[in-house]
Amino acid sequence: MSLSSALNSAVLGLNAQSTSLGIISGNVSNSETVGYKDSTAAFSSLVTTPGSTTQGYSNGVRTTTLTNISSQGLIESDSTASSLAISGDGFFVVTDGSGDVFYTRAGDFSTDANGDLVNSSGYYLMGYALNEDGQSATGSVPTSTSALTKVNLENLSGKAEATTETSLVANLPADAEVGDEFSIDVEVFDSLGTSSTVTYNFTKTASNEWELDYSDPVLTSDGTTVIGTSSGGPLTIAFDSDGQLSSITDAGGTDVTDNATLVITGWTTGASDSSIVSNLGSAGKADGLQQFASDEEDGDMTLYSVDQNGSNYSEISEISIAGDGMVSVTYENGVSEPVYQIVLADFANSDGLTGYSDTVYQESNTSGTYVLKTPGDGGTGTLSSYSLETSTVDTTTEFSRMIVAQQAYSAAAQVVSTTSDMYDTLISAVN
């Protein structure tokens, strides 16, 4: 190997170690960057004249930058519900202000002025809207990023829930006289969230037999203003000799034990008609109405519980994101419903993605084409709310690599210096 070859190899060594130091510097500077994946310098020998007398000897070195995109960073807790971390494979699908689609693991999302979920680098999280049953609002599950939309929480408003079911647990006194009457006031809500009160009137008609009729609904706020018309009664309630509910029949003699229905029409509030199933218990079971002697034989009815499933209008009080990517909202009245589904993009070779600034990537020929999946499905990772994926950079390891790079650089520089001295000696000899 000639002096010129030695000098060339040393210069290549200087360039290689400079590249390595640049990679190390980039890693250290991003040690606190959410979702950042560290890079390493891969060195390989460079033989400039294969087949010559120097064959088998390395005349230099070249470097390749490897980014460990598929590596998993540590998951740390965060105080924001919309901060998301992926445990396992997959990438968030995000878009920039121009509408271009990218993929990232940086899940430090928060709502902007328009209600869109956007991370600290300005990329908007994408998913698809859900209906109240948790299914795609469009009727089909998107398989292309072009069918996804920004996850927006601003346009979500409060809502009211119409009452569709009431439930009573009570004891009708077996020692009551025929003709005795008892009543229970039940609050119900129409489709607009207006609260009204329907009185369930129980009248003993015979031994082990009662009649139930419903009053017209009145405004709960004043207790007197009638705002609709009730139908569905009277019902005949029969008990067996052991005090258990035997049957409930309507005026036509049809058994309605499992589906006794109160219908309210003509709401003056403008609400749609209500159909409310009165859950009064199961035949042969003590899970609703029963008939036993009253406490201390005072002949009074005992009411244990009265429930209904409606609610008044209320605003959003909480947003939650499940491990499968379903975004749900909970209203002040306690009602919850799904609103969006977050999806993950999966790649056959995620290490082959093309990297850009702000810790985002785009697919390449090496990475393969994306496949959209629900978190936790098909080998993709699950989401953790109130969490962030930290950088994969280990500063201790980077400092060790820095020392090695520095020593190698100094050695290569020494080769350059020595070669220069030898050239000087040769020139002096010639002169």
Mean per-residue pLDDT of the chain: 88
Residue 1: pLDDT over 60? no
**Residue recorded with tokens 């908007």:** 124
Using pLDDT thresholds of 50, 70 and 90, give the confidence band for residue 184. very high
Q: Could you give the CA distance from residue 48 to residue 5 in angstroms, rounded to a whole number?
A: 9
What phi and psi values does residue 147 have, to the nearest 5 degrees? Answer: -95, 0
Q: Could you give the CA distance from residue 142 to residue 232 in angstroms, rounded to a whole number?
A: 45
What are the extents of the domains in the chain?
A: 3-68+392-430, 75-158+316-389, 161-314
| pLDDT at residue 172, as a whole number | 93
Q: How far is CA 196 from the centre of its chain?
A: 36
H-run or E-run covering 117: strand 117-118
Q: Are strands 289-290 and 165-171 parallel, antiparallel or unpaired?
A: parallel
What's the whole-model pTM score?
0.65
Q: Could you give the CA distance from residue 308 to residue 278 in angstroms, rounded to a whole number?
A: 9
Which residue, among 116, 115, 119, has the nearest Cα to 102 in the 3D structure?
119
At 135-180, the pLDDT tens digits run 998 888 999 999 999 998 876 666 778 999 999 999 999 999 999 9
CATH of domain 161-314: 2.60.98.20
| pLDDT at residue 57, as a whole number | 57
Q: Could you give the CA distance from residue 357 to residue 104 in angstroms, rounded to a whole number?
A: 11
**Is residue 403 helix, strand or coil?**
helix
Which residue, among 266, 264, 294, has the nearest Cα to 278 in the 3D structure?
264
At 206-224, the pLDDT tens digits run 999 999 999 999 999 998 9
